[in-house]
Structure 1
Amino acid sequence: MPEAQLQNIFLTLADVDQEQMNIYHQLSSFSGTVKEELVPDLSLADLRAKRQSNSQLLHVAKDELNVLRSTLSIPYFIIIADQDGDAIEMLCSSGMLHFLQGKGIMPGLSFSMAKKGINAISLSIELEKPTVVRGKEHHIQLLREWNCVCVPIVLNNKNRAYIKLAFNLKYDIDFAVSVMMQVKKNIERELLSNCPSKMKEITYLCFNKYGLSMREKEAAYGWFLNHSTLRIAGDMGITEGSVRNIIKKVYTKTQVNDKGQFIWKFNSLVSHK
C-alpha cells in the first residue's frame, strides 16, 4: 500500500477537534502533570490473569513481533496492551530493558486515557483507529522523547488489543507506519486462521459482495490462503489451467490486478468482519 494511503489510515492529534481534546484533558489524571517514574496499575495477580485470558493473542503477536524485531537496528520498545489499554507484555531492543524498568515502563501499566492521558494507545482506544503520537504530545513526561505508533488488533469487528512501537524522536516515523500496518494485518490473519471454519465462513461472506460463484469462491479461498494453482487444482479436481482462468475472473469481479492486492484486500475485509 502506498505511503500516502498508510498515513491517511493513521490518525494524529491533528484529527481531534478542540471539544474532544477538552474531554480528554478532563478524563486524564495526568493532564499537566510531570512524573519521572511510573508505578504499575495492575497487581501481579491481575497481570497474570490478563496474560492468561489473552494467551493466544500474546503467542501470535510475539511471534510476529519477533520477526519485526530482527529487522530493527534502532533503540525501541513495544507494548502489547489488552482491550482496556493495560500493558500485558513489553519487548525492547538490546540494552533497553534495564532503563525502561528503572523508569517504571513495564507490563502492568495502564495506558488508558484516564490513567496516562494522551498516548498512542489511549488515542487508539478513543478513536478506534491506528494512531501516531509524537514526542511532546504525550502527557507522560517519560514518553516525550519518543515517537509512538499504535495499531488496534481487530477481530469480529471489535478492537481486542493494541500494539505500540516507540522509538527515538530523531528517527523518521514513516517506516514505523508502514511496518506496523503489516504487523497488524499479519496478526489478525493468524488469529483468524486458528479457527479455520470461522475464517472460511467470513471470507465467503466477503466474496458474496462481489458476486462470486461457488466455484469461484472455492478457488478464490485457496488463493487467499496463498495456495498454489497446483494445490487448488488438486483440491477442486480440475486442471491448473482451469484454476488460472477462474482466478482471472475473480480478479475482474473483485477489481484487483494481482495476488498481493487480492490477499491484502480480503485480509482487510475479513479482519473487520
Structure 2
Amino acid sequence: MEGRTRPGTAFGLVPEERRRLEAAASRRIQDPDVTYLSARLEGAELRLRQARRRRLIRWLQQPSVLYRDGLTIVMAADTDGTLLHLESTAQVLTRLQRHNIGPGTRLTLEETGIHAVSAAVELGRSMFTRGREHTLCLFRDWSCFCMPVKDGYGETAGYLALTVPKHVSLSYLYPLTGGLVREAERELAGRRHVLTSIERQLAAFRLTGREMEIAKYWLLDYDYKQIGQALGISPNTVRVMIASIHGKLGVASKASMILKVLEIV
C-alpha cells in the first residue's frame, strides 16, 4: 500500500482535507489525463516575482549533489504556488519542458489539482503526496514533499519541494527537504539582519522613504532593472533616484557608497 512509505502521516491529507481539495479542483479540471500545462506566467510579471525571491533562487542554484543523481527535482514556488525555479539534470528539465513545466508554471489547485505544492499552499503547512494521490496523471509517477519557507520576519516567503520517482525510497525525503528549508531560512534571516543594519546606517543621511528602499537594493547589488522590477518603477526612475542618493551621501559610485556606509558602523 502506497501510504505505508509516507514520511510521517502528519504530512499527508486527512480525509476531510482531501474531500475539500478534490471538490475545489474538480470545478476547474475536466481532464486528468492532460499532459501539457497551459497556465504559465511569463514576461515582466514572472521576472518581478523572481526578483522578489532573488536571494532564495540564488541559494538554490548553488552546486549540489542533489541534482546530479538524475532523479531528484528541487523546486522553489511563490506563495501562491507559481513555480519560480527548478534544479535538476538537463535531461530531466528537458522532459519537464515538454509538459510546459518550468519557471512561471502555475502549480495551483485550480490549474493542476492536488499535489504537494498546491496542497501546501492551500493548507499552509508541509505536505507529502505520492502516486495516485495526484489529480493529474502527469504527476502520478512521482512522490513530492513540500515545505513552506519563512523569511526573517516569520512570514511565508515561498515553498521548497523535492520530487522523486515514486519507486525511490522515501526515507530521506522529509529530513532532506527539512534540511534544505532550514538552510534557506538561515539565508533569508541573514538578509533581514543585513537589511536592518543597512537601514540603521543609512538613517544618518536623511533619505526619503523611497530613496531608502532603492538604496537598500542598490547596496545588495541589484541593478537598475532589478530594482525597478522589485519596486514597480522604471529603470530610468531608479537611475535618477540613485543619482540623488549618491548626492546626499557625497559619493559618485556604488563602490564608494558601500565604503561610505561601512564607515558609520
Output the TM-score relative to the length of structure 2.
0.64
2:120 alignment partner, one of 114, 117, 124: 124
Q: For residue 98 of structure 1, what is the aligned residue in structure 2? A: 94
How far did 1:198 drift?
Answer: 8.3
How far did 1:150 drift?
Answer: 0.8
1:138 aligns with 2:137: no
1:172-212 Cα distance to aligned partner (Å, 9 max, x none) = 11111111100011110121022337899xxxxxxxxxxxx
SS in 2 for 1:177: helix
Q: For residue 176 of structure 1, what is the aligned residue in structure 2? A: 173
Q: 1:106 to 1:59 in 2, by over 3 A?
A: same
1:48 aligns with 2:47: yes
Q: For residue 185 of structure 2, what is the aligned residue in structure 1? A: 188
Counterpart mapping for 1:15-164 below 5 A: 16-18=14-16, 20-28=17-25, 29-30=28-29, 33-63=32-62, 66-69=63-66, 73-155=69-151, 156-164=153-161
Counterpart mapping for 1:249-264 below 5 A: none
- Residue pair 1:60, 1:187 contacting (<8 A) in 2 also: yes
Letter in 2 for 1:55: R
Q: For residue 11 of structure 1, what is the aligned residue in structure 2? A: 11
How far did 1:44 drift?
Answer: 2.3
1:52-109 Cα distance to aligned partner (Å, 9 max, x none) = 121122122333xx33526x52422222101111001111124212211112211111
CA distance in 1, matches of 2:157, 2:30: 27
How far did 1:45 drift?
Answer: 2.3
CA distance in 2, matches of 1:31, 1:154: 34
Counterpart mapping for 1:190-269 below 5 A: 190-196=187-193
* Structure 1 runs of 4+ with >6 Å offset: 197-200
How far did 1:9 drift?
Answer: 8.4
Q: 1:158 to 1:9 in 2, by over 3 A?
A: farther
CA distance in 1, matches of 2:150, 2:9: 14
- Residue pair 1:60, 1:191 contacting (<8 A) in 2 also: no
1:206-261 Cα distance to aligned partner (Å, 9 max, x none) = xxxxxxxxxxxxxxxxxxxxxxxxxxxxxxxxxxxxxxxxxxxxxxxxxxxxxxxx
> Which consecutive residues of structure 2, in runs of 5 or more, have no partner in the other structure?
1-5, 198-265
- Residue pair 1:130, 1:151 contacting (<8 A) in 2 also: yes
Letter in 2 for 1:11: F
How far did 1:153 drift?
Answer: 0.3
- Residue pair 1:25, 1:31 contacting (<8 A) in 2 also: no
CA distance in 1, matches of 2:56, 2:11: 24
> Which consecutive residues of structure 1, in runs of 5 or more, have no partner in the other structure?
1-5, 201-273
- Residue pair 2:41, 2:106 contacting (<8 A) in 1 also: yes
Q: 1:7 to 1:192 in 2, by over 3 A?
A: same
Q: For residue 210 of structure 1, what is the aligned residue in structure 2? A: none
Q: How many residues align?
A: 189
Letter in 1 for 2:94: H
**Percent identical residues:** 21
- Residue pair 1:9, 1:130 contacting (<8 A) in 2 also: no
Q: For residue 254 of structure 1, what is the aligned residue in structure 2? A: none
Output the TM-score relative to the length of structure 1.
0.62
CA distance in 1, matches of 2:77, 2:170: 21
How far did 1:162 drift?
Answer: 0.7
